[in-house]
Each structure stands twice: as C-alpha cells, then as structure tokens.
C-alpha cells in the first residue's frame, strides 16, 4: 500500500474532483432537475446542442468558432438518452417577413438558411427546450460525460508528470490545480477552457518526456506519437491552444541547447537541427490527426457554403489573397484537406472576435467596452479568484529560489539547477510567457478562464518547486537544553492543504462565484468582476425557480443575464424588464429579479441617469437567490 501511496492519493484527488464537480453542478435531486443545481449557462447552450448535432448530422455549421472535441464528448453523454434534434428543413432562403420560432418551439422546424448562418443560440434553445426534450436531463448527461473526461485527463496528467518529474512532485502539482474552487467550477460545465488547459498540459508533459528520452539516446518513438496526439487534442479543444506550438518549440530548443552546452558548436548545431526536424514531424502528424477528426464533422457539409464561410472570415487585410485560394482548393480537393480548411476557418473566426472584442465588461467599479479593462484585469483576478494556498506556496517557492541565488547556498543551488534543467520546467515557463504575451495584447476580457492553461502551468511549477524544497528546514535551533524543533516545508504544505480542502468544502456548491478574502469573499466578489468570473449567464436560474415555487410567487419581472427561456422555469408570470429602457418601476407589490451582471452594469454605466439605476431599490431587497440574483419587492 505504501509503495503506491502517491498513486492512491492521486486517485483520491481525482475522485474528489469528480464528485464535487458533479454534485455542485447537478445538485442532489435526480427526480426534479428543473430546481436542482446550477442552471444551463449561456455558453453551454450552443455547446450542448452542437455536440449532439455533429454526431447526428456530420455537419459543422453550428458553433464553428470553437473546435468540436469537448462538444463531441458532451454529445456522447447525450446519446444515452437520445433527445430529439430540431428538424433542419431545406429552406435555404428566408422570406423578408420571416420570424424565428419562440419557446416552446412546437414542431421545432429550423431552416437550413439559419444553420448556414450559424444561428447557434436559437438552435441550442430550440434543441433543449422543444416539448419532446427535457433540457435539464440533457444537460446532466452532457455535463456528466465532460466531468468524467476531465477526471480521467487529470489522472493522465499525473501519470505523465510522475514519468518526467517524480510521483510526489506530480501529486503536488495535481493537488494545487485540482483542489481549487476555480478548477472545480470550470471542470463541471460543458465549456472548453478546463479541458483545453488539461490537454495542453498533457501535451507539454509528453513532449518533455520525448525530449528527455531523445537527449538520453533512449527509445522515444512511443512519446513521439503521444506528443503528436495530444498536440492535436489540445488544438481540437480550443483554438487559442495554437500558442502551444511556438511556445513548445522554443522551450524545447532552449532545453536542447542548455543540456548540450558541453558539446562543440558543430555537434550542438547538428543536435538542434535534429530536434527541429523531429518537432516539425510532430506538428505535421498532429495536423493530420486534426484533419482526420474534422472529416467526420464536415463530409456532409456543402462545399460551396464552406467556401463562402472562408470568404467571410478570411483576414484579407493581414494575409495574402493566395492563401484564400489555397483554402478554397483544399475544400474541393479531398475530405482530409476539407476538414483542415474548416478548422482554419474556425481559427479565423476567433481571431476576428479577439480583434473586434465586442464586450461589456464590469471591473472594479467601471464598465468597459471594446477597449478592455487594461493590464490590471488579469493579475487582479488571478490573485482574487484562486486559492490563497496556491499563492502562498508559489511565493514561498520563488522566495526560496531567490534566497538560494543570492545567498549562494550550495544545496539550494543544486536543487535550482535540477529544477531548471528538467525539460518540463523549461517548457512550462516558456509557455506561460508566450501565452501571457498573446493575452496581454488582447482587449477581449470576459473571464479569468481565458488563461486557464497558464493557471495549470503555474500550479504544476509550484508543485515541482515545493517538491524540490520538500525537506527544507525553516527553523532549526541548536541551543543546548532546548527541545529541538524542526519546521520543514512539508509541514507547511500539510497545514495549507487542510485549509485548502476545508475552504473547498465550505464553498460548496458556489464554486463559479468563488473569490478569496483578497477579493472580498464569495458574497462580495462580484464587486471585483462579473461575467464568467461570477454571473455566467444563468447559473442560479434553477434556484430562482425553486424560490418562486417555495414562496408561491406567480408573477415576477426579470432583468437577467441568461439565454435560457425563463418562462420554462418561472412560468407564464415571468415578464422581461429593463429599468434603463422602461424608465419606471413595475407595479407596486410585484417582484423584480436582477442578476449581478445586469445589476453592476446598470450601476456603473456612466450614461444611465441616477433615477434609472437599481440603487433606488437598495432598501427593498427581499432575497438573494444563490449568489447571483437579487430579488426586490417594489414599494
């Protein structure tokens, strides 16, 4: 048993992640999911619908700006209950007087013209909320499949980390990343950021093992294919994972040059050239895997429509016209090149979105538009949304490293040399710098989740550093007649780990809304930032439905950040409301539910006059449903 203690501990952490993610997301009522757990998020609607749509139609018109992997996994979960897809008609042109169907979507007819237009939100709500389907049951099985996949990937990451580092270092890294409200939250929904980070981390770890075996002259072909596969999977999870390719290349090159510094310049050049050739082969094989994966999704797409999409999304101002013609040729050439062209089209859509940055971002008392919230956005959220235990150990390890450098302590310098010379450590450091260089140049700021791969890399490096200084003694007095007390880093870790676990259990089930005490705690964290940091489009809708049922509220006005049909949850008495537009309050005695996202945007938008701000209702709050919905009784 002791021989496998780290593996057993890793399994325990992964199972803990699985059950906390599942029950915080689904709640505990299997009989009536409509009132249990977290509501279906805005981003989940097209993802849940898209995955099932791909598996059933082999077409990729819906939600192409995100790769299919995570959505496919959700779709596999949905296959267990076989929900009904909307009927996609052959209507390729819409009449001038066309009106989209509205809830409850009786008949569920979805024109092909809207499919080609990527009308994803309408398709998603139509799929989930047509009378033949149970939306909350569909969401449960979709989430269950994604949570299970995330759990298996967490253990796979531990396995590879143990191969390149050690089992204890791998376990520490796994702990710092998994035992986190932020990770549990984003790993429990059908969204792409968490799985993208895991696959990126696994790809980097596989490359590190390949480099180590390649440098040692041992058999490395197995990890050549594993690296290519996980490069492909990372790119199939999220388009921003493309940063992995140049970052991993330069990180590997730095390691190769560093480890072969004792060779002659000519030998080092030859070794580096071999590395460059091997890396190019890894990337080419990864692109083949991507093409093959996309074939399943695109072979029933009309070639002419895909070419049209490429024409719409191709960045002609930055790329030559020849590139567009090559992509058009790829569509017609064969199914593999067509799949790769569809992948590239999705990447172009993401680039366009980042450039335009259409957003409305509340951050620290201001509402920002396309200009973004500035460079402070990421560090403020990093230090307020993540566990203080992670921050404490990151700063502690960094302090020990600098202490060793300046004090010239031999043992510490030896540990530092081992830390840096390890290929995975170098790759992770370079990846963090490359990813943040790209992120800081973007004004698209709607959530800390967008730097999830950086958070994973930082957590793993913190675990590696803690392992390197595991037996480091902070206090060791040698005075006679005094009982010896030896405080080591491992003792600090166990104390901090208990506090981190306690914090995670106390935060249940509000992991998405979690802020640490630096951010005012979970109850007040919304004053730092909202959107996917706190109120991600409907997480408390089910709880509001339960509140109205329990309190016999038949009529309620709502101004909420949610894409689900609220009447499904709140009944026919639900009425949409916007104080800014209406200019007056609902009738006296009625109830008004306002989500935190809308509330903060209303309060801090400079162009809204005081008489149309929700501060006029500050004395009329009757309930706070979950963490993200304020309910007022109109005086």
CA distance 423 to 593: 53
The answer to whether 129 and 568 are in contact (CB under 8 A) is yes
Closest CA to 124 of 68, 86, 155, 98: 86
pTM: 0.95
Q: What pLDDT does residue 108 have? A: 86
- Looking at 165-243, list the stretches that DSSP marks H as alpha helix, in order from N- to C-terminal side: 167-178, 181-186, 193-216, 221-237
Secondary structure letter of residue 561 according to DSSP:
S
pLDDT of residue 528: 97
At 118 the pLDDT is 95
Q: What is the pLDDT of residue 224?
A: 94
pLDDT digits (tens, 9 = 90+) for 3-62: 689 999 999 999 999 999 999 999 998 888 999 999 999 999 999 999 999 999 999 999
* Structural tokens at position 257: 């040059």
Buried b / exposed e over 88-100, threshold 16 CB at 10 Å, is beeeeeeeeeeee
- pLDDT tens-place string over residues 275-324: 899 999 999 999 999 999 999 999 999 999 999 999 999 888 778 888 88
Model pLDDT, residue 479: 47
Q: Give the three-class secondary structure for 632.
A: strand
Q: Using one digit for the tens of pLDDT, what is the confidence trace for 92-120?
A: 999 888 888 889 898 889 999 999 999 99
Q: In this predicted structure, what is the pLDDT of residue 482?
A: 46
With a cut of 50, list the residues of the chain below it in pLDDT: 478-482
Map out the domains of the chain as residue ranges: 2-143, 192-300, 388-477+486-526, 537-633
Non-local (6+) Cβ contacts of 630 within 8 A are: 593, 594, 595, 596, 599, 614, 621, 623, 624
Q: Are 173 and 459 in contact (CB under 8 A)?
A: yes
pLDDT for position 408 = 59
pLDDT digits (tens, 9 = 90+) for 567-589: 999 999 999 999 999 989 999 99
């Amino acid at each position: 048993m002791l021989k496998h203690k780290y593996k057993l501990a890793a399994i325990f952490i992964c199972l803990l992640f699985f059950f906390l993610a599942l029950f915080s997301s689904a709640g505990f009522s299997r009989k009536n999911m409509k009132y249990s757990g977290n509501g279906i998020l805005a981003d989940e609607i097209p993802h849940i619908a898209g995955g099932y749509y791909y598996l059933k139609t082999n077409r990729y018109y819906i939600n192409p700006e995100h790769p299919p992997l995570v959505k496919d996994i959700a779709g596999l979960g949905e296959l267990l209950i076989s929900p009904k897809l909307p009927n996609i008609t052959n209507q390729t042109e819409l009449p001038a007087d066309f009106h989209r169907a509205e809830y409850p979507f009786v008949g569920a007819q979805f024109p092909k013209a809207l499919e080609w237009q990527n009308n994803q939100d309408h398709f998603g709500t139509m799929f989930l909320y047509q009378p033949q389907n149970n939306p909350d049951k569909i969401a449960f099985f979709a989430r269950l499949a994604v949570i299970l996949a995330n759990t298996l990937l967490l253990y796979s990451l531990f396995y590879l980390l143990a191969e390149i580092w050690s089992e204890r270092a791998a376990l520490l890294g796994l702990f710092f990343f998994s035992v986190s409200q932020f990770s549990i939250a984003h790993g429990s929904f059908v969204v792409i950021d968490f799985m993208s980070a895991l696959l990126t981390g696994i790809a980097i770890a596989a490359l590190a093992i390949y480099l180590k075996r390649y440098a040692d002259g041992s058999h490395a072909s197995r990890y050549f294919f594993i690296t290519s596969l996980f490069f492909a999977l990372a790119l199939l999870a999220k388009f921003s994972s493309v940063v992995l390719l140049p970052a991993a290349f330069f990180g590997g090159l730095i390691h190769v040059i560093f480890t072969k510094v004792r060779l002659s310049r000519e030998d080092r050049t030859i070794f580096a050239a071999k590395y460059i050739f091997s890396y190019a082969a890894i990337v080419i094989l990864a692109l083949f895997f991507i093409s093959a994966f996309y074939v399943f999704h695109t072979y029933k797409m009309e070639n002419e429509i895909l070419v049209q999409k490429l024409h719409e999304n191709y960045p002609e101002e930055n790329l030559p016209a020849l590139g567009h013609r090559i992509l058009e040729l790829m569509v017609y050439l064969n199914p593999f090149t067509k799949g790769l062209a569809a992948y590239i089209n999705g990447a172009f859509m993401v680039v366009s979105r980042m450039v335009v940055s259409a957003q409305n971002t509340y951050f620290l008392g201001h509402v920002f538009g396309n200009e973004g919230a500035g460079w402070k956005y990421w560090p403020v959220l990093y230090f307020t949304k993540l566990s203080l235990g992670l921050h404490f150990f990151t700063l502690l390890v960094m302090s020990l490293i600098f202490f060793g450098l300046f004090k010239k302590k031999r043992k510490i310098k030896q540990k530092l040399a081992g830390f840096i010379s390890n290929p995975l450590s170098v790759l992770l450091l370079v990846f963090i710098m490359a990813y943040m260089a790209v992120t800081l140049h973007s004004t698209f700021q709607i959530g800390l989740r967008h730097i999830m791969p950086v958070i994973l890399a930082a957590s793993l490096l913190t675990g590696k550093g803690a392992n390197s200084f595991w037996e480091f003694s902070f206090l060791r007095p040698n005075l006679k007649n005094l009982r010896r007390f030896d405080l080591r880093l491992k003792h600090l870790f166990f104390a901090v780990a208990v506090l981190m676990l306690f914090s995670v259990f106390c935060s249940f089930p509000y992991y998405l809304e979690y802020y640490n005490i630096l951010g005012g705690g979970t109850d007040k964290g919304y004053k730092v930032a909202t959107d996917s940091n706190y109120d991600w489009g409907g997480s408390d809708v089910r709880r509001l439905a339960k509140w109205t049922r329990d309190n016999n509220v038949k009529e309620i006005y709502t101004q909420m950040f949610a894409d689900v049909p609220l009447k499904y949850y709140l009944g026919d008495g639900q009425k949409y409301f916007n104080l800014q537009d209406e200019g007056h309050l609902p009738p006296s005695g009625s109830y008004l539910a306002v989500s935190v996202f809308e509330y903060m945007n209303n309060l801090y938008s400079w162009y809204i006059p005081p008489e149309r701000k929700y501060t006029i209702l500050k004395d009329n709050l009757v309930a706070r449903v979950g963490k993200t919905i304020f309910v007022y009784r109109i005086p």
